[in-house]
Chains A and B, each alone.
Chain A
Amino acid sequence: MTTLNGSSPATAPTASKRSRRGSLAKSRRRQAWAAWFFLSPTLLFFGIFLVLPLLFAIGLSLSVWGGFDLTRIEFTGLDNFGAILSEGSSFVAPILTNTLLFAFGAVALALVASVAIAHAITRLRFEGFWRTLYFLPIVTTVVAVGNIWKYLYEPGGGLINGLLNAVGISSVQFLSDPDTALPSVVVVQAWASIGSAILILTAGLKAIPHTYYEAGELDGTTAWSAFWHITLPLLRPTLLFVMITQFIGALQSFALIIVMTSGGPANATNVAGFEMYQQAFRFGSWGVASAMALVLFAVIFVITLLQLWFFRRKGEETS
């Protein structure tokens, strides 16, 4: 990991000072020219597919547009935001609440499971083999993940209900009962993201120096309290990173929803990303959809800041 030391732009390479001044200036000019040349494709791309779309999204969110004829855009100020955030709008409840529940549930589940598994895996032989098994869903398309689980949940003929029936429990309508639909999808999201969490946590675990544990052993601490008092606190930065990235991922994820439930039953699994998609590409309400996208982005931003702030503060208290 030593390759990463230069991550701050301030530690620029010390240019050779041996060169004579004249040729140095010339070389500098040439370097600057080359640099802009090398960067131009990247900058052009970000101009077209990052800056322009952002402006476009903001503009659309302030307008009413039924699609297809750009001359028929009508500027309406903050009306779209007013409509989707008003009381009684289904965007706030249940859709945004679902989005948060979905993300919280999936991250909590994945985090607890991955800490436990990552910690256990480091004590086993054939670590790599075990990790690979947990990693399979990461490289699998969401279409496969969603469909596999849809059939596992199937009331007539799916594996999970097959097992329940075998022990005498009658079938559960996992995806068509609104009480179980969201938790069922949360499990799939957690299942699919646990692999990368384990991987990153393993890296974090390996970075904890052995001396800490040896000191603990001398004090006669149990494995459990070593985990609780040594491993977890030292793992905090890694945990924070995993939590934030998984949260961002889960808040915006809706491919799984498209594949598994299309937001149903009765909006029980409708999340903000899916509603945005639906408003634009199905109902033709592009302005409303863009406003939803920006609101969701704001939510993600605020939650990320909150997490950072919370962990920083806790870090200061304990240290």
Chain B
Amino acid sequence: MKTRATARVVATAAVLLLGASACTTSNYEGGARDTLTILTHYANDPLKSGLQEMVDEWNAANPDLQVETQAVSFDELLQTITVRQTGGEAPDIVHAYSLWGGQLAEANVLAEVPEDVAQDVRDNYSPAAVGSVTVDDRIVGYPTEVQTYGLYYNKRLLAEAGYDAPPSSWEELEEIAAATTKRDDSGNIEVAGFGLTSGWDSAVVHPWVSLLQSAGGRYMNEDGTATAFDSPEGRAALELEKRMIDDGVADPAIDVLKSFPSGTTAMTINAGWWIGSLKTTMGDDYEDIGVAEIPGPEVGDTGSMAYGYFAGVNSRSERQDDAWEFLKWLNGEKGDNGATRMGSFQFSLGTIPGRMADSEALAGTIDDPNFDPFVAALEYAAPEPNGRNGQEMKSSLQGSIEAVWTGQQTVEEALAAAAAAADAALSEG
């Protein structure tokens, strides 16, 4: 009898174990959420603590409507949104990259935007910002930031090579890049004249698109129905990058995000958000950093692309009204300094707020001339297309550009193939 009893104990234990672990872990009580959740990529400081400060302020004033932030790194954000949405643990508020607007709208992730919010966005945000949150003429959420591109350069490295001003044309760019490059005895690059980085889609695609625009080319055609980058301007921009790699002044294997702040890359193209991060990582060395508008083939040419982030409400949220309430407070209501909370927060990081009144209210508070090129670029920067296949298109374009960088394809082949693939995807979707 003893053995049978043991067997019964084993069986019971199994049932209990399975049953117990099927219990819910957190967040869910009685099937409904008791807090609003925001999913964002603000996973590191100063972004993380800045957002948390605003959320804390709201939570203190609204004990009945608590907000909780969930942050993942940018690399994982799209996958996290997709997986959670399908897996059922969808956040109430999605803070996402403008490129994904089309994909998220088509999968029905984003809830309808209330008319007053849509009107507020159309009336009060800069054209680049409105463009970044518009999918098929529909506003998908509040633009939280707009990013444009500029040429970062290290004044100290340029001065050591005998230059006291940033390049104003492609020719000068190549000349200064060559003059600032240094190598060790075994031929490894110690200081790269120009920074190009592979392996990360934005770092590969956006500088090239900016150069393409500075040459007078376009990424998309006028009405956004087909690509326009397989053009003389597009080829010239890619040939410029390829030349610098072949001459050994740029090396895509170097991670510019590390090498530029450590003073081993002289120039590179990046977006405005980087200023905040450079200030934190470089400390006093930040004095060496200058930013200029991106030069074009001739003196006086310039160009940039623009992208942004938006905060939208999940169509799966059971508290959509509450979520919009919170977003309106965050993005629409003026604080003590005359600007919205989101605007002040973005501005403090060196990012241009999308809301025009915010930029005006805050204009006097920062005197770093490095911001000027990014503000100037708002005038001419073209927004990144955000259709259904936006991320896929960008990933394939990244592949084509990297293939040119590494010499696997010629500029002509790569751009023709990338354009054909992207146009096919556009006509399907």
Complex: A in contact with B (CB within 8 Å)? yes
Which A residues lie at the B interface, using CB under 8 A? Answer: 66-69, 72, 88, 90, 155-156, 165, 168-171, 173, 176-179, 262, 264-267, 281-284, 286
B198 CB contacts on chain A under 8 angstroms: 176, 264-265
Q: Cα distance A187–B249 when bound, in Å? A: 31
By CB atoms of chain B within 10 A, which of A68, A169, A178, A262 has the most?
A68
Contacts A173-B253, A266-B403 given; does A67 touch B199 at CB 8 Å: no
Could you tell me the distance between the alpha carbons of A156 and B259 in the complex, rounded to whole angstroms? 11
Instruction: Name the B residues within 8 Å of A170 (CB-CB).
Output: 186-188
- B186-A67 in contact (CB<8A): no
Chain B interface mostly helix, strand, loop or mixed?
helix
- Selected from B107, B188, B403, the residue in CB contact (under 8 A) with A66 is B107
Chain A minimum-CB-distance residue to B392: A283
- CA–CA, A266 and B402, complex, Å: 5
B85 near A178: Cβ-Cβ < 8 Å: no
Q: What per-residue 1/0 map shows which CB atoms of B401-427 lie under 8 Å from chain A?
A: 011001010000000000011000000
**Interface hit among B76-84, B138-146, B322-330:** B76-84
- Inter-chain CA distance A69–B108, complex, in Å, is 8
A178 B396 Cβ-Cβ under 8 A: no
Tell me how far the C-beta of A39 lies from the nearest C-beta in chain B, rounded to whole angstroms: 15
Complex Cα distance, B114 from A59, in Å, reads: 37
- Which A residues touch B319, using CB under 8 A? none
B391 proximity list for chain A (CB < 8 A): 282-283
* Interfacial chain B residues near A66, Cβ < 8 Å: 106-108
Cross-chain contact B82 with A178 (CB below 8 angstroms): no
Asked if B265 CB lies within 8 Å of chain A CBs, one says no
What are the residues of chain B within 8 A of A67 when measuring CB–CB?
Answer: 82, 85-86, 107
- With A and B bound together, what is the CA distance between A281 and B81 in angstroms? 9
Question: Do B103 and A284 have beta carbons less than 8 Å apart?
Answer: yes
Q: A183 → chain B, closest Cβ, in Å?
A: 14
B399 within 8 A of A: yes
Interface residues of B (CB under 8 A from A): 78-79, 82-83, 85-86, 90, 103, 106-109, 186-188, 198-199, 251-253, 316, 391-392, 396, 398-400, 402-403, 406, 408, 420-421
Contact yes or no, B406 A281, CB < 8 A: no
Report A110 CB to chain B, min CB distance, Å: 28
Alpha-carbon separation in the docked complex, A173 to B103 (Å): 34
Contact A178 B253 (CB under 8 A): no
Q: Which residues of A contact B316 (CB under 8 A)?
A: 68
Q: B109 near A179 (CB under 8 angstroms)? A: no
Contacts of B399 in A (CB 8 A): 90, 264, 266-267
Q: A136 to B252: give the CA distance in the assembly, Å.
A: 34
Set of chain B residues within 8 Å of A179, measured between Cβ atoms? 406, 408
Q: A170-B186, A265-B199, A266-B408 are in contact. Are A176 and B103 (CB under 8 A)?
A: no
Q: Is the CB of B109 within 8 A of A68?
A: yes
Q: A170-B186, A176-B199 are in contact. Are A155 and B253 (CB under 8 A)?
A: yes
Expressed in whole angstroms, the minimum distance between the Cβ of B149 and any Cβ of chain A is: 22
Q: Which among B83, B251, B420 is the interface contact of A281 at CB below 8 angstroms?
A: B83
Chain A residue at minimum C-beta to C-beta distance from B398: A266
* CA A282 to CA B84, docked complex, whole Å: 11
**Are the CB atoms of B82 and A264 closer together than 8 Å?**
no
Q: Which of B103, B109, B406, B421 contacts A266 (CB 8 A)?
A: B406
User: When the two chains form the complex, which single residue of B251, B392, B402 contacts A265, counting CB atoms closer than 8 Å?
Assistant: B402
Q: Which residues of B contact A286 (CB under 8 A)?
A: 86
Nearest-CB residue, chain B, relative to A168: B186
Taking CB atoms, residues of chain B closer than 8 Å to A171 are 186, 188
Known contacts: A68-B108, A283-B391. The answer to whether A264 contacts B188 by CB under 8 A is no
> How far, in whole Å, are A6 and B103 apart by their CA atoms in the complex?
56
Nearest chain A residue, comparing its CB with the CB of B85: A68
Given A88-B421, A178-B406, decide whether A282 and B187 contact each other with a Cβ distance below 8 A.
no
A182 to chain B, nearest CB (A): 12
Given A88-B420, A177-B406, list of 16 further CB < 8 A pairs?
A66-B106, A68-B85, A68-B86, A68-B90, A68-B107, A90-B396, A169-B186, A170-B187, A170-B188, A171-B188, A173-B251, A176-B199, A178-B403, A265-B198, A281-B83, A286-B86
